[in-house]
Amino acid sequence: MSDEVLLKAFRQHLWPAYTLYYTKPLTIVRGEGSYVWDIEGGKYLDFFGGILVTAAGHGHPKILARIHEQVDRILHTSTLYIHENMVRLAKALAEKAPGGLSTSYFTNSGSEANETAIMLAKMYTGQQDIIVLRNAYSGRTTLTTNLTGNAAWRPLGSEIPGIHHAAAPYCYRCPFKSTYPECGLACAEDVENLIRTTTRQGKIAAFFAEPIQGVGGFVTPPEDYFQAVADIVKRYGGSSSLTRSKRASAGRACIGSASSIGALNRTS
Ligand SMILES: Cc1ncc(COP(=O)(O)O)c(C=O)c1O
């Protein structure tokens, strides 16, 4: 199919919820190392890496060999049976994870991992209220769009009660029009204020945030922000969860997402 025919069929048969970059969207057919090729043979230096997911580049021979090896052996069973690789990965993660984190639950996507984390926090604490951040992106399921603090990625109104959005720790465009460190971490104070004013009897299940907000615009909080928030959260009985451990749980590794960069640099 030519580029134009593909685009027409894409528009006809796929939901408009798929956002395509560029007025003339790219059809990528192949990748190798740091490069990808489009359907017309154009070569691009890939700064995007599938929203940072292809951390080892495209078509790394060792990774491809292991995928082929597994697919040739068996494609799918079920978590009702043990698979050696699942146990080996969980063991390897336990050996690396800090703070006595020794067990894993594997999911298929970031959204599913986030759903699971929230469910776990609610079950563990017996509380319902969750503090999240404005500008956050958490996924495309009902719960994760409600956790998201970015109107462009919230197709419906808030449907799940108990989710409260605190000001983002965004020094470059400070929501308090202040400057770090003179601000006294007003953004962390906002978390406490939200807990005290909007939750059931000042108790929460979790504080939930990306270490570096990706879709939100690569927002890196000041160094002492997370420690300050962790102290507040513990005082109010919650658990803190840094998202995008989700990529690890999906067998990939990265932090933040790069939708706001969108940089594929054509080289030929
Ligand atoms: C921070 C963050 N959380 C959650 C998700 C959702 O992950 P998935 O698309 O695998 O459901 C993304 C995806 O880009 C993300 O960047």
230 belongs to a structural domain: yes
Same domain? 38 vs 125: no
pLDDT at 222 exceeding the cut of 50: yes
How much distance in Å is there from the Cα of 182 to the middle of ligand 1? 33
Residue 127 counted as domain residue: yes
Does any ligand 1 atom lie closer than 6 A to the CB of residue 241? Answer: no
pLDDT digits (tens, 9 = 90+) for 72-92: 999 999 999 999 999 999 999
260 pLDDT tier (thresholds 50, 70, 90): very low
Same domain for 13 and 59, yes or no, is: yes
Q: What is the CATH number of the domain that holds 176?
A: 3.40.640.10
pLDDT at 100: 87
Q: Are residues 262 and 223 in the same domain?
A: no
In a domain, 216, yes or no: yes
Q: Is the pLDDT of residue 267 over 50?
A: no
Q: Is 26 in the same domain as 49?
A: yes
* 51 Cα nearest atom in ligand 1: 14
Whether residue 88 lies inside any domain: the answer is: no
> Over 80: is that where the pLDDT of 249 sits?
no
Nearest CA residue ID for atom 4, ligand 1: 138
Question: How many domains are contained in the chain?
Answer: 2
**Same-domain check for residues 119 and 31:** no
Residue with the nearest Cα to atom 16 of ligand 1?
257
Task: Grade residue 220 by pLDDT with cuts at 50, 70 and 90.
Answer: very high
- C-alpha 210 chain-centroid distance: 7
| 112 shares a domain with 241 | yes
Same domain assignment for residues 45 and 162 = no
Residue 69 included in any domain = no
Residue nearest to atom 7 of ligand 1 (CA): 110
DSSP the chain: --HHHHHHHHHHHS-TTS---SSS---EEEEEBTEEEETTS-EEEESSHHHHT-TT-BS-HHHHHHHHHHHHH-S---TTS--HHHHHHHHHHHHH-STT-------SSHHHHHHHHHHHHHHHH----EEEETT----SSHHHHHH---GGG--S---STTEEEEPP--STT-TTS--TTTT-SHHHHHHHHHHHHHSGGG--SEEEE-SSBTTTTSB---TTHHHHHHHHHHHTT-EEEETTHHHHHTT---SS--TTT--EEE--
Is residue 103 assigned to a domain? no
Q: Is residue 148 part of a domain?
A: yes
CATH no. for residue 14? 3.90.1150.10
pLDDT at residue 175 is higher than 60: yes
> Does ligand 1 come within 6 angstroms of the Cβ of 243?
yes
At 4 the pLDDT is 87
Taking CA atoms only, the protein residue closest to ligand 1 atom 14 is: 257
Better pLDDT: 241 or 124: 124
Verify that 18 and 124 share a domain, yes or no: no
Kindly state whether residue 82 falls inside one of the protein's structural domains. Answer: no
CA–CA separation, 51 vs 263, rounded Å? 10
- Rounded CA-CA distance 219/156 in Å is 25
Size of the chain in residues:
268
Task: Clarify whether residues 116 and 238 are in a common domain.
Answer: yes
244: containing domain? 108-249
Q: Are residues 262 and 214 in the same domain?
A: no
Q: pLDDT by residue (tens digit) across 94-108?
A: 999 998 899 999 999
Same domain, 125 and 49: no
**Residue 159 sits in the same domain as residue 52:** no
